[in-house]
Structures are given as C-alpha cells and as structure tokens.
Amino acid sequence: MGGPVTLAEERLRRLVEIRDAHRDIPVLLRAHSRSLLAPPRGGRNRKTRDRKVTAPEVSSPRMRPASDEPDQSDGWRDLLLRLPREANPAGLFARAALLFLLGLWTLLFLRHGMNAAYLMRSFLHLVDLPFHEAGHILLAPFGHFLSVLGGSLFQVAIPLLCGGVLLFKTRDPFAASVTLWWAGQSLMDLAPYIADARALRLPLLGGRTGAEVEGHDWEYLLAALGLTRHDLMLGKLSFALGALAMLGALAWGGTVLWRLRSRLRAS
C-alpha cells in the first residue's frame, strides 16, 4: 500500500511511541505522592502511637537532700580559720607570743583611754603617721575635702587593705587578724584628734596647736559637715570601734591558734 518509509517518517513514529510511553508518568507520580502522604489504616503510625512520651525529670531545689547544697557557712569558716599546710610547734609558739604581746598592748591602750599624750607617744603612732600624710597627697587631685579626709581614711584603710590581701590572696587568717588589730589601733589613734575639733589643743605635725595655725583636719571636716558640736561623741565612737576591732582581732587570732594546736596534738 505505501512506498518505503522514509527516515523522517521513521523518526516521527518513534517520537509518537516515546510520547505514548511517557503519557502515564504524571498520573503515576501523583498517585505515589498521595500514598506517601496519606496515613496508614488504623490512624497514626503504630510506632508513634505506641511510643510513650515522658516529660524530662526536673529536680526541684526543695527536693534535693541537704548534703547537695553548697554550705556557705563552711566556706566562710574555712576562709577565716584556715590553717597553714605545714604547721610546726615553733610556728605555733611564735604566733602565740605575738598574740600575747598584742593582748598586753590592747590592755594598755584601753587603760589609758583617749589620752592623747599616750597615743601620740606610741610607736604605732609613728607607723600610722606616714600613711596619714600620704592620704592627703594622694587624694589632693579630688578636691580639698577629700584631700583633708584622705589622711584619716588612709590611716585606717591601709591596714584593712593589707588584711584583705592576706586573707583572700595569701590565705593567712592569723596574719589578717593582726592587720585588723592594727586597723583598730588606727581608729583609737584618731579618736583624740576627732574630739579636739573645737578645743584645738593638740599639737599638729609642725609642733603648734590647731588654735595657733590652720590645718586641723577634723576642725575643717566636722565644720563642713555641720557636726562640730558632736566632736567629743564622734571621738569616743572612734575609740570604741577601735577597741572592738582590736578585741575581735585577738579573739579571731586566738581561735586560729587553738585549732592549730589541736591539729598538732592530733598528729
């Protein structure tokens, strides 16, 4: 019926066959997608249905045993009463002798009270004085009031600063108790000076009294604060705080030495 098939007709026939063979592919893809997305019979996946979902256990602080909580009191006790790693009877004796001398010195300070002559003749007055004068100089850039206050401030702050280093850095609570004693003595040393704000009878650094020359620190400070009439009370307060600090330092140092003695006896 027809002539020989040409090359063009052959190619056209093959293209028609390829088109017919791929006609059903989109239908098959859509059906397969629906089968993947549709849930199986019986609802959700059996593994998901049978899986037990448990909430994570959260431990309440109130339910924890007492031993799990960090004990702050033990931390402070260890800080304030830490013993040296290498303790020996000679070290214990040397510390005990120093503490005994500080105790006797404390009794002498308490016995003389706010006696300015005794306090100013004390060896420790000569130790306090350089720090007092350095405070005036170091705080001078911050105004006249702070410069005047800096003398008394540094006189007390330097021992406390040394104590902080010995306690937190060196971890030597006995040495820190000695610096606390020194800070208490500095407060005692300031007491007659504060109480002299109106009388102006104490000799200043140059040998003259505050009535003869200007330069009495606490005359200026209390006048600036409107507290001049309370100079005697503030002086007594400074003396009382100093006494408490000194007695507390002796008790602190004594407790450290008692624990050290107990450890040496046990070993």
Return the residue matching tokens 């994570």: 56
Contact between 232 and 191 under an 8 Å Cβ cutoff? The reply is no
Question: Would you list the domain boundaries of the chain?
Answer: 88-266
pLDDT at 126: 94
User: φ, ψ for residue 24 (rounded to 5)?
Assistant: -85, 0
Return the residue matching tokens 């009794």: 107
Q: State how far the Cα of 77 lies from the Cα of 205, in Å rounded to an integer.
A: 43
Contact between 179 and 160 under an 8 Å Cβ cutoff? The reply is yes
Grouped pLDDT means (10 residues each) for the chain, 267 residues: 60 67 59 54 49 49 39 71 86 96 98 94 94 96 96 97 96 96 98 96 86 89 96 98 98 96 88
Residue 145 CB partners (closer than 8 Å, separation 6+): 221, 224
Instruction: Identify the H or E element spanning 190.
Output: helix 173-195
Cα 113 versus chain centre, distance = 35
Is the model's pTM score more than 0.85?
A: no
Return the residue matching tokens 């000076």: 193
